Amino acid sequence: MRILVADDSSFMRKIIQAVLERAGHQVVGEASDGQEAVSRYQELKPDLVIMDITMPIVNGLESLKEILCSNPDAKVLMCSAMGQESIIQESIEYGAKGFIT
């Protein structure tokens, strides 16, 4: 599976990438903010996006909406250390396929 990882923490991006690659997936790109995530999605057309909620410039929820607007079939998993039920529910309502805390 070709995956785009979007998180403002380079440390978290590297951890996620290592776990995914160990599982046999290919990380085709990274993004450090929401605006870059949308741009990289349009450029790379990955099978899956794993995206943090809290990012600079454009947050993950807004980026999720933009990605799904350009491709309603996009598969996006949101992630956050916060784990607040309202944020999880909002992500799912916007069209995220799942949420990782």
Which pLDDT belongs to residue 93? 93
pLDDT band for position 81 (cuts 50, 70, 90): confident
pLDDT band for position 101 (cuts 50, 70, 90): confident
Q: How many domains does the chain have?
A: 1
Which pLDDT belongs to residue 83? 64
pLDDT per position as a tens digit, 45-72: 999 999 999 999 999 999 999 999 999 9
CATH of the domain at 9: 3.40.50.2300
pTM of the predicted model over 0.85:
yes
Range of the domain at 28: 2-100
DSSP calls for the chain: -EEEEE-S-HHHHHHHHHHHHHTT-EEEEEESSHHHHHHHHHHH--SEEEEESS-SSS-HHHHHHHHHHH-TT--EEEE-SS--HHHHHHHHHHT-SEEE-
